[in-house]
């Protein structure tokens, strides 16, 4: 994946998959956040021109359209969009795209020709000086390299309780530059991870990409309770980058996992350009079997309500509630669990696995 130099460029399959994840998540994020907050912010740190050569929507247009789709719930809320890009030609093109949209009056849209680190740093410093908190924010950080996205800034963003980060860590690109002779280049890598351990991976790991992924995950876990990654591969199946999601709220985590599983219904954690999405997968993997084994190990010998099982699945595993119900169905059919006929609320269980059903492992 090379950095495009022109104003507009062709979209790649993994970028389509990335935007599919973004779109599905925002479809849940806008109505959820607007229910409890008067003002919300969508921040796009490397926004690009808003359009690809083939006419496909870029992330800024996707975000605005998704908000417009939920206008019935957002019409009495203040929705702020902040789009940042270093290239003036791309910001100008984005402005022309937005000008052609019938944007509601309660949508405030700011476009900035600037560096992500500079603009966001100034916003956070200004809020701190005024003793104000950042409004609930979804920050989409999608650079072509690793410069200008220091972990210190990510940490500052996540210090705001209702801020979520969806960030692209270009592991393959980092791996190719990690031994660069230029000290400034190596420092950008250290800044990105917030740790000099990033450079120690050269000598301490046999799988650099895996080690880089794990290091960034560990760093995010110091400032967010819920962290999940999604792996993007090229047409040869080689890792290009990892998308990391970080949040302090379980519902956001659940909705992002659901978006991941929509893009990858077999494992929920990766996409490859070599996969033809139009071609039917003849031999698919059923994740419920693996989850059934995980549930057996977790709850063996215990009597638990489905609500407790679901909390574990959604917050501590890589799976979602749909897989839990499938797994419990498998386990009931083959006798690995016994389901009590009376639910915890005293009513009779008819079918399925609602939250008040009691399961014996």
The confidence score (pLDDT) of residue 134 equals 95
pLDDT higher than threshold 80 for residue 106: yes
Contact in structure between 325 and 351 (CB atoms under 8 Å): no
The confidence score (pLDDT) of residue 281 equals 47
Q: Where are the alpha helices (DSSP H) in 228-339?
A: 250-263, 287-299, 306-316, 321-333
pLDDT higher than threshold 50 for residue 279: no
Q: Whole-angstrom Cα distance, residue 249 to residue 227?
A: 10
For residues 247, 258, 288, 316, the Cα torsion angle rounded to the nearest 10 degrees is: 10
Kind of pairing, strands 163-169 and 239-247? antiparallel
Q: Whole-angstrom Cα distance, residue 106 to residue 80?
A: 8
pLDDT in tens, 39-96: 999 999 999 999 999 999 999 999 999 999 999 999 999 999 999 999 999 999 999 9
Q: What is the mean pLDDT of residues 323-344?
A: 97
Q: Where are the alpha helices (DSSP H) in the chain?
A: 13-36, 59-69, 71-74, 88-99, 116-129, 151-158, 171-177, 183-193, 197-204, 208-220, 250-263, 287-299, 306-316, 321-333
Q: Whole-angstrom Cα distance, residue 126 to residue 121?
A: 9
Give the mean pLDDT of the chain: 94
pLDDT higher than threshold 90 for residue 202: no
182: phi then psi, degrees, rounded to nearest 5: -75, 125
Q: Whole-angstrom Cα distance, residue 250 to residue 311?
A: 9
pLDDT higher than threshold 80 for residue 23: yes
Q: What is the mean pLDDT of residues 1-8?
A: 78
Contact in structure between 323 and 359 (CB atoms under 8 Å): no
Read off the pLDDT band of 286 (50, 70, 90). confident
3-state class (DSSP) for residue 218: helix
In this prediction the pTM is 0.93
pLDDT higher than threshold 90 for residue 297: yes
Q: What is the mean pLDDT of residues 6-29?
A: 95
Per-domain residue ranges of the chain: 13-272, 287-360
Read off the pLDDT band of 334 (50, 70, 90). very high
pLDDT higher than threshold 90 for residue 275: no
Read off the pLDDT band of 12 (50, 70, 90). very high
13-272: CATH topology: Rossmann fold (3.40.50)
- Report CA torsion sign: 97, 99, 104, 105: positive
């Amino acid at each position: 994946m090379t950095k495009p130099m022109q104003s507009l460029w062709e979209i790649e399959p993994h970028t389509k998959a990335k935007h599919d994840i973004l779109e599905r998540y925002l479809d849940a994020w806008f109505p959820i956040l607007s229910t409890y907050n008067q003002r919300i912010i969508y921040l796009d740190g490397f926004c690009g021109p808003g359009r690809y050569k083939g006419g496909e929507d870029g992330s800024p247009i996707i975000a605005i359209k998704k908000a417009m789709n939920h206008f019935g719930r957002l019409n009495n809320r203040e929705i702020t969009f902040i789009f940042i890009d270093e290239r003036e030609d791309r910001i100008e093109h984005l402005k022309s795209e937005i000008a052609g949209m019938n944007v509601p009056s309660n949508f405030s849209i700011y476009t900035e020709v600037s560096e992500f680190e500079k603009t966001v740093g100034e916003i956070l410093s200004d809020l701190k000086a005024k003793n104000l908190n950042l409004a609930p924010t979804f920050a989409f950080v999608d650079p072509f390299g690793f410069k200008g996205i220091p972990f210190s800034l990510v940490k500052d963003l996540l210090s705001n309780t209702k801020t979520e980060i969806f960030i692209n860590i270009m592991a393959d690109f980092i791996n190719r530059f990690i031994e660069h002779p230029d000290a400034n280049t190596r420092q950008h890598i250290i800044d990105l991870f917030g740790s000099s351990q990033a450079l120690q991976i050269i000598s301490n790991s046999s799988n650099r990409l895996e080690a880089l992924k794990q290091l960034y995950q560990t760093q995010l876990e110091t400032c967010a309770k819920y962290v999940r990654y999604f792996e993007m591969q090229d047409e040869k199946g080689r890792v290009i980058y990892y998308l990391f999601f970080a949040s302090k709220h379980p519902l956001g985590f659940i909705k992002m996992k659901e978006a991941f599983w929509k893009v990858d219904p077999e494992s929920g954690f990766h996409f490859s350009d070599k996969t033809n999405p139009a071609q039917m997968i003849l031999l698919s993997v059923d994740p419920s079997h693996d989850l059934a084994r995980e549930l057996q190990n977790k709850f063996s010998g215990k009597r638990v309500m489905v609500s407790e099982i679901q909390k574990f699945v959604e917050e501590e595993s890589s799976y979602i509630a749909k897989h839990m119900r499938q797994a419990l169905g498998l386990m009931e059919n083959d006798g690995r669990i016994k389901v009590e006929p009376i639910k915890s609320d005293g009513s009779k269980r008819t079918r399925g696995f609602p939250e008040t059903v009691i399961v014996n492992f």
